[in-house]
Structure 1
Amino acid sequence: MDVINLHRDAREPITCIDMHTTGEPTRIVIKGYPDLSGTLLQQKRQAKSQHDHIRKRLMLEPAGHADMYGAILRPRTELTETGDAHIGVLFTHNEGYSTMCGHATIALGRFLVDTHDVSVFPQRNEIKCDPATKTATLNLHAPCGLVVVTVPVTDDLSRSDPSRPVSFICVPSFATGQDIAIEIPPGDRWPELQDRDHVKVGFCYGGAFTCLVSAKELGFNDGLRPPVRHEALNTATRKLKAIVNSDPRYQKYMKHPEEDDLSSLYTVMVQDKSIGRVLSGAEGAETGLCYFADQQIDRSPTGSAVAARIAFAVATGKLKMGQSWTYHTLVSNAKEGKGGFVGTAVEEVPELYLKESMLSTPIRVRVEGHAYYVGSHVFISEPEDPYGEGGFLFDRL
């Protein structure tokens, strides 16, 4: 049944490919999105001011859900014009637009190698494959900067190989704070804090700013071992994030050295370093539960936060350059470790070091994981439909 022909008056049919990375969705918009102009950050602002109804239609109910995630391909950016990037992307979620997304980058790596449609990916034929390593390398322009993605390919070099992990080299990542005491006002304290008036956290950046806090520090003495108390953790992390974002004392830990658009807290990562299977080549493992945007929970280990956590571990002396660590979620732990990410500290970036705001020299981190296809869709919105254009979230009604 051809839905578009049946509903010729439907608004802006949007074609998407759905993928997942450790269960975390990526809805890739490949056709039907309006053209945008300017730099990629200008396109991000334009998407928000002029076309946000499309984000809401694809991310929110009834077409999506509270934890849906998306990627809008941008064939033309300032870096594609200079030849530094093959394609750009805007990342979307339940609240708006993010500056970096590792799980979506892993999914995009596979899709951009697999598509041979130059109307979707004009520079597809510029992608080079190495027959010796059977990998393809592409340069992705994310809002936070250039990300280099390495995709394993089949023997004939024509498509991605899902049996091997995709990896990417993230933008320079760094730590900005360790053991920072966040004061919790009396009216904002959650029951698990008991008589405590603060929690200690760390701050780091891997394309977006992350606040690191252990589950036990939040008052959850059982950590992230099942059964996890999701409702209580949601309350604690929501309050913590709101306090950090609103209190001027903590803004210095989320200051990007180059772009104000990147200077805000995106993620609260709850950590439990006592659980998680060590994957091949890694020194150890831990588990995290990531709350981002409007309390979305990332099913994947969160690629930007993996880069940030590796940078934090190096800055605080827990890891050395060249070493790797495994990061898990509740999802990968439930599948005997399958779907965990491995992060590796690969290179220092001394020219970006700011002594007054960073704990140590920024580094580049390699993050690797697996992504898989789920399906394809053409989304429409009939003019008579009161819910299709703006969408809704049931628990926000």
Structure 2
Amino acid sequence: MHTSRLFTVIDSHTAGHPTRVVTSGIPPLQGRSVREQRDDFRARYDGLRTLLLHEPRGHAAMAGAIPVPSTIADQGLFFVFSYSYADMCGHATIGYVASLAALGSLPRGFEQDGMSIETPAGIVHVKGTFEAGRLTSVILRNVPCYVMASDVVVEADGFGRVTCDIAYSGITYALVDADTFELPFDIANAGRWCRAGMAIKDALNSISNNPKTDSVLFYRSTDGGARHLVVLAGNKFDRSPCGTGTSARLAQLHRRGAIAPGASYRAENIMGVPFVAAIAELAESRSGQPAVIPEVRGMAHLSAFSTLVLEAEDPLPSGFLPG
């Protein structure tokens, strides 16, 4: 076997959605900030994203977390996906912390003080809960989150008129009440929800004065929270309740006077696995808009410690992804 590249990775899932933490094999990146390093990776090494996340080593729903140095936080981290990049990812941050714990590599003092992580969206903070020295959950304090537009109405191709709010939480979400659709809200119908989500996203992004929408979060209210389904792309949905999506939902609820700081919000994925979240404090966005600082608690579970190999003769060195 003649190998041209080797990568060590740790795979986990956070409430069902996968994270692949790449622990070695990424070339040195240029840039002082994490955003600059992420952009350098995208410009020079995007083929490694597809190699690591596409078939035959990954799949359409695979997400990756790449640790890098930070000059302003304890650690830098950026996020890659089978289909794109994102400035922030809550479930992958939780997966990264769980992977550090499994390696025995949490920073000294983490049990007392947690750690700061620089992401392309800004600095987030994480801490953990422990039982007998074992990590049992990760608590993510996100960047300031806020509503960008309320009661936006669009005509979604094939689904008619849809009303949504648009909120920023590290990325930008359209938030849509699932009860306005005559579709069963379950995993068996995830493909139909993906089509609805993409129709809404395309309609929103076709309007020049609307904020660019990255993902669509459908929610169905439950006692003490809601069930979430986040549409990422045409055939991709978040298996977890979505950390950044939950943060956007808290911003929406606070704007509407429906949740107070400190009140608990239970965000379930489409299979009923929860995150628990709350507004930790009120803040302002960089542009001065009223914002909230959410805390989201969840846990990741490890599935593999692996070495990924690219042979020199591999006819598909960048992998492939069916439509």
TM-score (normalised: structure 1): 0.76
1:102/1:302 contact within 8 Å kept: yes
Counterpart position of 1:63 = 57
CA RMSD of aligned residues (A): 2.0
Matched, 1:100 2:88: yes
Secondary structure at the counterpart of residue 257 of structure 2: coil
Q: Bigger radius of gyration, 1 or 2?
A: 1
From 343, 346, 354, give the equivalent of 2:280. Answer: 346
2:264/2:277 contact within 8 Å kept: yes
Secondary structure at the counterpart of residue 250 of structure 2: helix
Report the CA distance between 1:293 and its aligned residue: 4.7
Matched, 1:166 2:94: no
CA distance in 2, matches of 1:351, 1:24: 29
Q: Which amino acid aligns with 1:238?
A: M
Secondary structure at the counterpart of residue 83 of structure 2: coil
CA distance in 2, matches of 1:35, 1:19: 25
CA distance in 2, matches of 1:351, 1:309: 16
Matched, 1:48 2:30: no
Counterpart position of 2:197 = 237
2:241/2:267 contact within 8 Å kept: yes
CA distance in 2, matches of 1:108, 1:296: 21
Secondary structure at the counterpart of residue 229 of structure 1: helix
2:116/2:125 contact within 8 Å kept: yes
Q: Structure 1 vs Structure 2: percent identity of aligned residues?
A: 27
Report the CA distance between 1:352 and its aligned residue: 4.1
Counterpart position of 2:162 = 199
Distance change >3 Å, CA 111–CA 239, structure 1 → 2: same
Report the CA distance between 1:68 and its aligned residue: 0.7
Aligned residues: 322
1:209/1:267 contact within 8 Å kept: yes
Distance change >3 Å, CA 46–CA 174, structure 1 → 2: same
2:148/2:167 contact within 8 Å kept: yes
Report the CA distance between 1:223 and its aligned residue: 4.7
1:95/1:294 contact within 8 Å kept: no
What runs of 5+ residues in structure 2 fail to find an aligned partner? Answer: none
TM-score (normalised: structure 2): 0.93
Q: How does 1:111-260 map to 2 (within 5 A)?
A: 111-116=99-104, 125-130=107-112, 137-155=114-132, 157=133, 160-162=134-136, 165-184=137-156, 189-190=157-158, 193=159, 196=160, 198-217=161-180, 220-224=181-185, 226=186, 228-250=188-210, 254=211
1:238/1:295 contact within 8 Å kept: no
Distance change >3 Å, CA 172–CA 386, structure 1 → 2: same
Q: Which amino acid aligns with 1:179?
A: D
1:96/1:293 contact within 8 Å kept: no
Report the CA distance between 1:116 and its aligned residue: 4.2
Q: Which amino acid aligns with 1:142?
A: T
